[in-house]
Amino acid sequence: MKRTGLPRGLAVCLMSLVFVPQLALAAYVPALPAIGGSFGVGAGGTSSSLVGYMAAYAVCMILTGNLADRYGSRRVQLAGLVMFTGASVLCLLAPVYGVFVAGRVLQALGAGTGTVISRLWVQRALPTEQRLPMLTALSTVIAVTPAASPPLAGLVVEHTSWRALFAFMALLGVVTTLAVAKLLPADAGAGGPAGAPGGAVRPPGGAVRPPGGLAGLARAYRRVLANRDFTVFAGAISLAWCTYFTFTTYSSDLLQLRLGASPTLYGALYTLVITGYVAGSTTAKRLGRSRSLEFIARTAAAVAAGTALLMPVTVHLWPHSTLSIVLPMAVCMLGVGALFPTCQAGMMRYEGEYAGAASGLFFFLQMASGACYTALIGMAGPPDALMLALTIALPALALFLLCVFALRGGPEAGRDAVPVRTAGPVKSGSS
């Protein structure tokens, strides 16, 4: 493993925290038609379980940031993993569709804690110049998991049962809970020693706790939203996520039930799309050595919007081909993949006292936007190929306009262009 500035065991632990929710989302997508058939839910009906998962994920984001500031990140993370494990068992044994959806909601509430807490550790345990390698490692896990898991999940569904996926998720929850209990240090002031053995890191327990009550939280959020970097990059990642999540939500039924792809083939096509994300994230890392976040975001948004706007044309020309949707989406994901780590780095420019609340609010806005947008699309029924292409293109176009007009400035090699080879071991007491 490349040096990330954190002890090896802790770095692996943080990567596992972002692996769990990504697997729970991506491995599930190829199984949507099989789950619908098992419960007698019609075509497109299972999209409610995806929307419910993402809505609960959004709620988890905003709760986790505040709970971690107040009670300690380790306690919150362990509670989340226990909830995820129990919810996976509930999905596995669900007798009716309503119980299954409830299990998915609880899965998201539990698994989503790692998305916020892993970033809090990076922000609070590492100085600015040492964050990029660990952020890149987390982004790589987030990118590779959706790329590798759908083909394997498709094979499992095609040759065994969709319930086998949730049996594996329950086992994963148990293993990850034990790993976190052993490897994630207790927070300072949260009932345990501060940092890893030898004082290698300062865990995310030393931030100013947000004031209690709704009025106190409102003041904290007003302070965060007053930061222009936070607001613009939160808007950008939300629009990029709408583009990505719309495809994830509705492509499975469309490609399998209407265009005839098998679960295994769909998994391979989905992997092709996620490969674009991986390439985009890698490109952003390289550009970050010499270019500003603003430059990377504008360029990435142009790539995403250009190819998303091309998708309705290719669908019109080849309406019965899965590649008319998948190929433009794979190129679109080059831009989306570059935007995700870029926007997260831009959000981390906010170094104020409410870092936990800021991180939770950032990911809440991202996930809530995807849940609301896809729920709105589904009100008219499952989209056909042309409608799916148009609903993917709309947020991509809005993303381009936001990045062009709100991210005009920024030095080409300024405060946010961090050399990726400068990371070393964190000195005791660094923050």
Single-letter amino acid, residue 334: L
What would the two tokens of residue 345 be? Answer: 């780095």
pTM of the model: 0.74
Q: Which has the closest alpha carbon to 298: 420, 139, 222, 406?
A: 406
Is the CA virtual torsion 305, 361, 338, 327 positive or negative?
negative
8 Å CB contact between 415 and 306: no
| DSSP three-state, residue 192 | strand
What values do phi and psi take at 138, rounded to 5?
Answer: -65, -45
Query: Is the predicted pLDDT of residue 176 greater than 60, yes or no?
Result: yes
Q: What is the pLDDT of residue 187?
A: 67
**How many structural domains does the chain have?**
1
Cα 298 to Cα 408: distance, rounded to the nearest angstrom = 8
Query: Is the predicted pLDDT of residue 190 greater than 50, yes or no?
Result: no
Q: Is residue 261 part of a domain?
A: yes
Distance of CA 6 to the CA centre of its chain: 22
C-alpha to C-alpha distances, 431 to 13, 229, 424, nearest whole angstrom:
19, 21, 14
Cα 204 to Cα 185: distance, rounded to the nearest angstrom = 10
Q: What is the pLDDT of residue 295?
A: 93
188/169: higher pLDDT: 169
Q: What is the pLDDT of residue 206?
A: 46
Q: Is residue 429 part of a domain?
A: no
> What CATH number corresponds to the domain at position 164?
1.20.1250.20
Q: Is residue 414 part of a domain?
A: no
| Mean pLDDT, the chain, whole residue set | 82
Share of the chain above pLDDT 70, in %: 84
8 Å CB contact between 260 and 380: no
Q: Is residue 317 part of a domain?
A: yes
Q: What is the pLDDT of residue 188?
A: 52
pLDDT digits over 152-167, tens only?
888 888 888 899 999 9
Q: Which has the closest alpha carbon to 210: 61, 353, 63?
A: 353
Q: Is residue 422 part of a domain?
A: no
Give residue 272's domain range.
8-406
pLDDT digits over 325-373, tens only?
999 999 999 999 999 888 988 887 877 677 767 877 888 898 889 888 9
Query: Is the predicted pLDDT of residue 416 greater than 60, yes or no?
Result: no
Residues for the chain: how many in total?
Answer: 431
Going by pLDDT thresholds of 50, 70 and 90, the confidence category of residue 380 is: confident
8 Å CB contact between 255 and 43: no
Q: Is residue 418 part of a domain?
A: no
Average pLDDT, integer, range 4-33: 83
8 Å CB contact between 345 and 236: no
- 423 CB contacts (<8 Å, ≥6 apart)? 3, 4, 5, 129, 130, 132, 133, 134
174/25: higher pLDDT: 174
Q: What is the pLDDT of residue 290?
A: 84
Q: Is residue 431 part of a domain?
A: no
CA geometry: angle at 88 spanning 84 and 91, to 5°? 135
Query: Is the predicted pLDDT of residue 422 greater than 80, yes or no?
Result: no
| DSSP three-state, residue 188 | strand
- 22 CB contacts (<8 Å, ≥6 apart)? 141, 142, 145, 146, 149
Count of C-beta atoms within a 10 Å radius of residue 413: 13
What values do phi and psi take at 188, rounded to 5?
Answer: -65, 125
Q: What is the pLDDT of residue 207?
A: 46
8 Å CB contact between 137 and 281: no
Average pLDDT, integer, range 265-288: 86
8 Å CB contact between 243 and 337: no
Single-letter amino acid, residue 292: S
Q: Which has the closest alpha carbon to 66: 216, 183, 184?
A: 216
pLDDT digits over 194-243, tens only?
343 334 444 554 444 555 566 777 888 888 888 888 999 999 999 999 99
What would the two tokens of residue 125 be? Answer: 């345990």
Query: Is the predicted pLDDT of residue 4 greater than 70, yes or no?
Result: no
Cα 261 to Cα 182: distance, rounded to the nearest angstrom = 43
Please provide the DSSP assignment of 220-261 as one string: HHHHHHT-HHHHHHHHHHHHHHHHHHHHHHHHHHIIIIIT--
45/344: higher pLDDT: 344
